[in-house]
Structure 1
Amino acid sequence: MRGDVIRKGIGVVLLIFVLSIGLSENVQKWGQVPTSMTVFEGDVTPITEAVSELNAVPVSTESVEETGQVKLEVGNFPIKNIDVSVIPKLEVIPGGQSIGVKLNTEGVLVVGHHLVETDDESISPGEEAGIQVGDMITHIDGEEIQHMSQVGEYVQSAGDEERTLDIRLKRDQKIYEKTLTPVKAKGEHSYRMGLYIRDSAAGVGTMTFYDPDTMKYGALGHVISDVDTKKPIVVHDGQIVRSSVTSIEKGSNGDPGEKLASLTKQREKLGSIEKNSSFGIFGTLDKVNLKNKLYDEKMPVSLSTHVKEGPAKILTVVEGEEVQEFDIEIISSVPQQQPATKGMVIKVTDPKLLEATGGIVQGMSGSPIIQDGKLVGAVTHVFVNDPTSGYGCHIEWMLEEAGVLQQEAKAS
């Protein structure tokens, strides 16, 4: 009798032990389920996938849009709540076209110092005044400066009148006031301030998407920085134009390749540039005149939580203006609740693209990434030591920067 009680007691202990092992394993899994998630209206698949490996079931997913929350439970015991943000479904048209980019800076950018030879000495008045490389000169003598030609007029006038210039500049989002005295170059009648300056930048990139309803677009997938200062360019205005790829400098280990392109059709302007951010350039198209001849209809987009490792496609141009589709592999994808640039690692697997470019090259940035019939991101960077691989950003952050996601949400 007593032996039966002992055996039953041991059985109960073993059962509790076994259950505790299973429970601890599930606790680890539950800890991997996010506490918050963003999903598209009517699509609870990301939620289902997030809990599919657990011995838990989502409850009342039909009322997600009403409650903003999904409850997980095991055996009618509540385990975890997931706060859910529901946004309207989005569809945009993917790009892939090669575009020329021209940016005009907010003021004139200081990209270097130089010494001016005078009758008495060699001096850089700008450096002496405390003006640094990377500074943006926005005003001279109280007047707004937008072009390099304006600067020369003020400098010459101050030199002829033997007076100083009051310089207002922007440095790291702060405003500084400086005083500069121009000097006359030896053997010349012109005055100098000993600064190299620039008021524009140009390059080649790839269109990522556009919204035919709002005419807003996104391209490049990464910020445009000045080649000399390495700092992001603060945009006053700019434009994108049609371009044609003329040749490819193939990439190799330690030496990223590059697309070489020319501007076509008398610099046909496609649209304006209104923003230069960590996720690329954004603005408004003048007219919907962009065809890639592969995907010219609206395509649904996918949030970062729904992108998976595996095969995908990119759209890009390697010759002329023809947009082509190439195979890649998404090696890893990080679900992101906050904007971050390097959300995916991708690898080019298409033999044709590898033969033509060696992998990812400069000018390919912005090439749209498509997986399972949805736009999921854009190519952003190449690995210097492995040109077949690089980074991609998730499309949702580009949509936010473009104002498409916000406008769609407000429209609902």
Structure 2
Amino acid sequence: MNRDSKIKLSFLLTILLLTVFCFNTQVMHLGTLPLKKKIIVGETLDLGFESNKFLQALEVDIQPNNCSALRNSKLTLSDTAPIVTNPGKINLSLKLFGIIPLRNVTVDVVPEIKVIPGGQSIGVMLHSQGVMVVGLAAVEDVHGRSFNPAREAGIKIGDVLLKVNGKKIKTENQLKDLVAQAGHNNKPVIMNVKRKNEEISFKVTPVYCDETKSYRLGLLIRDSAAGVGTLTFYHPDSRIYGALGHVITDTESGKKIDLSDGRIFEASIQDIHPGKTGQPGEKIGMLQNANNLNGNILKNTPYGIFGEISKPIKNPYFKQLIPVALPSQVKEGPAEIITVLKGNTMERFKIKIEEVTRQSKPHGKGMIIKITDPKLLQVTGGIIQGMSGSPIIQYTNEGQPVLVGAVTHVFINDPTRGYGVLAEWMIEEMETLSKETGSILQKKRDVQTIGHHNAA
């Protein structure tokens, strides 16, 4: 065989080996590994591979070494996964033959967080920063002419009115008084408006409305929101709670309500309107004595509302705190939710987690759930309004209850099914609030960065 033939043969063999290697199902799994992963202290550093002859050629470089039963910072995927002993950040570098880099994964190692599951029905009262524009309407003057002063000035639905003529606006009545004053003086009003993250000024001239006998701008506004939801969890050490599992938006504009202040109170469920295909059901609640459950609202986020509760709460089904599952620990299969159907009585109901979306960063739709409990289906028809925030509990093989998420949305065309948010994303919001309030929670879960890691 001449030299050129040997070179061609070597090249073809190399291509063949690389093709076989790359199309091995376990190796293809490398591409699905998240760039970031989170595990709890005491867990194994397991990447979820089954060992085979191809993967024995892969070497994992661990920096730093804070794993037990590991004498050096290198191992192969055929080795027993080590146990992580200390909190911090670990950089995993997967290399072929210990030379060719294939994937870098950053692992956050955090202490376990435990909470008291919720399930209590709560009344939610929320006041926005300023007043929100939820509609624009025409104003007819004494001559029958139609005007829309606000629209013509450039104001849009979803804008938040912060100031009028330099004065802060918190209620609809404040705005009416200032508009009337300007109209009587035949002057425009200067309106400071928040649109997304920008503050804009508009000059709007009031028009005297013949129908209402008052000066108007052609605005429909709302200064507060109220409703019924469900408490998801309570963290006793910090006194912080999480509820709803989704953001509170204005019902007219669909925009997030920027929080000024708000409170939660215990609610008693008086009636249930069952859900039907194309028509969501709802809980009908009434606010109870504020001494039973009373808290403020400090954050309105995509993953729920958060604040502090004035005194500890209890759950009749869980006398002890239970762990919060990381996204990687949530499994498809049987689970249960806790919610109220009548009065203040919390009940447990069976559900099935049909699908879990593997998320390495926060997103509201973390799982698809299906109501399977006969009683809940009979009374509610499935998931209904007011059930948002109901905690989702799973049990480990050892029978340990774990908070994995919260009910958030119903499928309009199938009220027995809906979405849930992963509990970890609610915990991250709680940790952010803990930093802002200086609670002891953050001191417990703060992780010290050890070594280096690659940015995702």
Q: Does 1:207 align with 2:231?
A: yes
Cα distance, 1:131 vs. partner? 1.5
Number of aligned positions between the proteins: 394
Identity in percent = 42
* In 2, Cα distance between equivalents of 1:24 and 1:348: 38
CA offset digits 1:217-246 (Å, max 9, x no partner): 111111111111111111111111110111
CA offset digits 1:102-145 (Å, max 9, x no partner): 11011011111223332222323222222222111000111111
Q: Does 1:85 align with 2:83?
A: no
Contact 2:357 2:367 in 1 (8 A): yes
> For 2:82, which of 54, 58, 61 is the aligned residue?
61
Q: For residue 8 of structure 1, what is the aligned residue in structure 2?
A: none
* In 2, Cα distance between equivalents of 1:393 and 1:220: 10
Contact 1:135 1:171 in 2 (8 A): yes
Q: Does 1:157 align with 2:181?
A: yes
Cα distance, 1:36 vs. partner? 3.4
Q: For residue 183 of structure 1, what is the aligned residue in structure 2?
A: 207
1:323 aligned partner, one-letter code: M
* In 2, Cα distance between equivalents of 1:180 and 1:187: 20
Cα distance, 1:57 vs. partner? 3.0
> For 2:165, which of 141, 145, 153 is the aligned residue?
141
Contact 1:58 1:71 in 2 (8 A): no
Q: Does 1:354 align with 2:377?
A: yes
User: Residues 390-401 of structure 1 correspond to what in structure 2 (within 5 A)?
Assistant: 390-401=418-429
Cα distance, 1:25 vs. partner? 3.8
Cα distance, 1:24 vs. partner? 2.5
Contact 2:258 2:300 in 1 (8 A): yes
SS in 2 for 1:103: strand
SS in 2 for 1:403: helix
SS in 1 for 2:48: helix
Cα distance, 1:255 vs. partner? 1.4
2:359 aligned partner, one-letter code: Q
* Closer, same or farther: CA 58–378 of 1 in aligned 2, 3 Å: farther
2:46 aligned partner, one-letter code: T
Q: For residue 410 of structure 2, what is the aligned residue in structure 1?
A: 382
User: Residues 399-410 of structure 1 correspond to what in structure 2 (within 5 A)?
Assistant: 399-403=427-431, 407=442, 408-410=444-446
1:61 aligned partner, one-letter code: P
CA offset digits 1:155-181 (Å, max 9, x no partner): 121122221111110112221111111
Q: Does 1:287 align with 2:311?
A: yes
Cα distance, 1:400 vs. partner? 1.0
* In 1, Cα distance between equivalents of 2:405 and 2:151: 43
Contact 1:207 1:219 in 2 (8 A): yes
Q: For residue 97 of structure 1, what is the aligned residue in structure 2?
A: 120
Q: For residue 136 of structure 2, what is the aligned residue in structure 1?
A: 113
Alignment TM-score, normalising by the size of structure 2: 0.79
* In 2, Cα distance between equivalents of 1:30 and 1:411: 27
SS in 2 for 1:353: helix
Q: For residue 6 of structure 2, what is the aligned residue in structure 1?
A: none
* In 2, Cα distance between equivalents of 1:85 and 1:382: 33
SS in 1 for 2:46: helix
SS in 2 for 1:51: coil
> For 2:220, which of 196, 208, 226 is the aligned residue?
196
* Closer, same or farther: CA 58–71 of 1 in aligned 2, 3 Å: farther
> For 2:350, which of 308, 314, 327 is the aligned residue?
327
Cα distance, 1:76 vs. partner? 9.1
Q: 5+ unaligned residues in a row in structure 2: which ranges?
A: 1-12, 56-76, 396-400, 436-441, 449-456
Cα distance, 1:187 vs. partner? 7.3
> For 1:364, which of 387, 393, 408 is the aligned residue?
387
CA offset digits 1:243-301 (Å, max 9, x no partner): 0111111112211111111111269661111111111111111222x333112431111
* In 2, Cα distance between equivalents of 1:263 and 1:341: 28
Q: For residue 4 of structure 1, what is the aligned residue in structure 2?
A: none
Q: Please say which of residues 257-266 and 31-40 is displaced more in the overlay.
A: 31-40
1:27 aligned partner, one-letter code: V
Q: Does 1:245 align with 2:269?
A: yes
Q: Does 1:38 align with 2:38?
A: yes
* In 2, Cα distance between equivalents of 1:67 and 1:287: 35
Contact 2:369 2:419 in 1 (8 A): yes
Contact 1:239 1:269 in 2 (8 A): no
* Closer, same or farther: CA 20–184 of 1 in aligned 2, 3 Å: closer
SS in 2 for 1:89: coil
Q: For residue 28 of structure 1, what is the aligned residue in structure 2?
A: 28
* Closer, same or farther: CA 77–264 of 1 in aligned 2, 3 Å: same
Q: Please say which of residues 81-90 and 171-180 is displaced more in the overlay.
A: 81-90
CA offset digits 1:361-385 (Å, max 9, x no partner): 1111110011111001001111111
Q: 5+ unaligned residues in a row in structure 1: which ranges?
A: 1-12
Q: CA RMSD of the aligned region, Å?
A: 2.8
* Closer, same or farther: CA 202–251 of 1 in aligned 2, 3 Å: same
